[in-house]
Structure 1
């Protein structure tokens, strides 16, 4: 008696196993440790138009602080900052600033200070406290060895900045944070699912 051919299923398994294995290797590579995330804060954010001593300037002065938490030196790509004004109804950009790439030693601290000329804000209708937002985009690498660096870690963080009637921050040292941790969790869950599929294909 001729038995039914199982070529279809067998071929599908032969194709599926290498495919699942390749995806697992790629995802596991993505889970490898990269450059340690720096601790970034806004130390100063002063809205000149709100200060009692002057009301004619649309300049905002800011002080960005970056602290390297890694045991190895870090290399930063250009720092790209975008500032937003957040009203009750909407949010829109009011200025931006860019700082050149730089090197930071292990556990080092650096400040990047600048001014932006604000555009588009109706100061007369603003309510106190005023809320602004800053978003920072950059990439960081660690110097693992003298002649070798970690892969580039793309970094997007932000924070709300609340300002009082004197034009200064209500809360000092505002940390810029990210939701990147959710992406890592999602990738880990996908790895677990793929391991389950691989186990099923091997033992079913």
Structure 2
């Protein structure tokens, strides 16, 4: 009996006081067979197609002033979050992206590196972003304050968006499955159908949220050039 509904997200498995749940972050490596890197097959063609599409889109967002290979970090971020989001849909696998510890450790270092690079190398460009063009003089202090606050909360919004979406779907599926033991047979069939639809929706959310965090990180980095 759960004392708290959110206890399903607690990292409770441990060995010698080491939280083994967080090792689920690296299970995605097991889905790539060794032959993936050696022989051409459908999997490598499929992944190359996705990576090329992502590379072209991120390259367009970063602009002409971006460094060569700068899209790889955002493609890696996309794939890392995508694997962890999908793994959380399997039974008895810990969802690491449903914790702010994981999502903040991804978004905060990226945001800090963008800010340090922008303020050190392009300080005038960063100051220009504080005041939109055509702002009246009397509103300039308020616009600087609003832009500063919106800039500071960016890593938090990235992390909370990912965490909240992962938690919401899992909680809804847990709540619905918990009512199955008290339902009659004909309603259980309907409940299973609803759970399948929710699982499809959660699969779409897993892809969308990994895409959103990668796109927003790319947009934030393009503002410092």
* Shorter-chain TM-score tier: under 0.3
Bigger radius of gyration among the two: 1
Bigger relative contact order, structure 1 or 2 (CA pairs below 8 A, ≥6 apart): 2
Q: TM-score, normalised by structure 1?
A: 0.27
Which structure dedicates a bigger proportion of its chain to strand? 1
Q: What's the TM-score once normalised by structure 2's chain length?
A: 0.25
